[in-house]
Structure 1
Amino acid sequence: MTKVPRTNRGGVAAGRENRAALIAAARVEFEANGIDAPLSAIARRAGVGQGSLYRHFPDRVSLAVAVFEENIEEIEALAADGTPSLRAVTDLVTHQVEGATALIQLIATERADARVEHIAERLRAVVAAAWEEHAADAPAGITDDDIMLAISMVATTVSLAPTAERHRLARRAWRLLGPGIGRGSAPADDS
């Protein structure tokens, strides 16, 4: 197991460094073992004790939300550069899901948690803005909620697949869903 590299600073700097190390370790463990990855393995990979983990993240959901916060920030950064195309949004979300299936597991199992719903709402806001620009090219009656459903369907399929199959399955799913949500919705094939 590769530990997250760290320096030996004390005080507030050590606290920030421990938090960053825990988030990086959780990202690796969640990707490898899903949302139920042992917290002890995350602490060990980060090079900190479990007490430090719980000081920063009192429960699994708070740690997972911190990990996925970075994903949402990347999607929001795409939107900050102007209204992104629906294709750009679905490409980025699909790419993230291929590597972060634990996010889908978290949303599915902890949907009622306000912290998780906040992440979902931030994603929905970017999708809605992209859809608004794309809606004229789509069949009548399709809404941004339909796009969120399509993203959820693709994400769930991808999250259940072995790592080596995820990209291929995402491509197939978007090819099937793409005609219903407008032209050019399938993520780019960068395999």
Structure 2
Amino acid sequence: MTQQPRPAERRPANDGPRAAARNRAALVAAAREICAEYGLDAPLSAIARRAGVGQGVLYRHFPDRTAVVSAVLEENVRQVEQAAAAEDADLAGVLGVLTWHLTESAAFIGMLHSYGARSRSDTPSYAPALSGRVERALRGHLPDGHRLAAVRGDLAIAVAMVAGAVTGPTREQREHRALAAWRLLGAEVGPVRPFEG
């Protein structure tokens, strides 16, 4: 027999849209952490667990893995674009922000590497648009005559090459390898840090 709540006992208030917004924010934050570690194949169950919600809540906000990863990568790309749009922006500064994101997120590496290094049929559906935005942000700051501006597509390949080089168990090792790769490509990199606009 189920007990009926007594009048003095109140059920928790239904926060409706506020709870949905909190859940989505928690899911994106958890997905960022899990995708940073596991890359593009991050387990959705781990994301839901880290966010403190059930998988049903995850699927209410994101119908599939592509939607979750796109939401996470959107923030990475937005920061690169913001760095490029800053008043005092230059190529070295934008590359510093891009490199920071590469050293922090296996998913970001995977997206940029897959877009530049594989055939279009192997590329995740969200990669062309997001990678294209990164390329446009960088291209706007390439000096005339820079070797990465010589042939269309070279910049995307260069970013993919650097993304492929960003390996190592520590952030410092990944940053060292990324900076070495940029140096080999003739690109100067500014301070490696997130964009703080």
Distance 1:38 1:171 in 2: 30
Alpha carbons of 1:169 and 1:70: their partners in 2 closer, same or farther (altered >3 Å)? same
Which residue does 1:56 correspond to in 2? 61
**Is contact 1:86–1:127 with CA below 8 Å preserved after alignment?**
yes
Question: What is the Cα deviation at residue 161 of structure 1?
Answer: 2.9
Which residue does 2:7 correspond to in 1? none
Which residue does 1:129 correspond to in 2? 140
Post-superposition Cα deviations, 1:13-68, rounded to whole Å, max 9, x if no partner, equal 11111111001001111112222221111101001100010111111111011011
Distance 2:155 2:180 in 1: 16
Q: How does 1:41-80 map to 2 (within 5 A)?
A: 41-80=46-85
Question: What is the Cα deviation at residue 187 of structure 1?
Answer: 4.3
**Is contact 2:77–2:134 with CA below 8 Å preserved after alignment?**
yes
SS at match of 1:161: coil
Alpha carbons of 1:135 and 1:13: their partners in 2 closer, same or farther (altered >3 Å)? same
List runs of 5+ in structure 1 lacking aligned partners.
Answer: 1-7
Question: What is the Cα deviation at residue 139 of structure 1?
Answer: 4.9
Greater RCO structure (CA 8 Å; 6+ sep) = 2
Which residue does 1:111 correspond to in 2? 123
Q: 2:91 aligns with which of 81, 86, 93?
A: 86
Moved over 6 A (4+): none
Normalised to the residue count of structure 1, the TM-score between the two structures is 0.79
Q: CA RMSD in A?
A: 2.5
% same residue:
38
Distance 2:97 2:168 in 1: 18
List runs of 5+ in structure 2 lacking aligned partners.
Answer: 1-12, 116-121
Q: How many residues align?
A: 173
Q: 2:177 aligns with which of 155, 166, 169?
A: 169
SS at match of 1:27: helix
Post-superposition Cα deviations, 1:63-92, rounded to whole Å, max 9, x if no partner, equal 011011111111121232247311112111
Normalised to the residue count of structure 2, the TM-score between the two structures is 0.77
Is 1:15 the counterpart of 2:20? The answer is yes
Query: What amino acid is the match of 1:42?
Result: I
Question: What is the Cα deviation at residue 163 of structure 1?
Answer: 3.0
Distance 1:140 1:19 in 2: 39
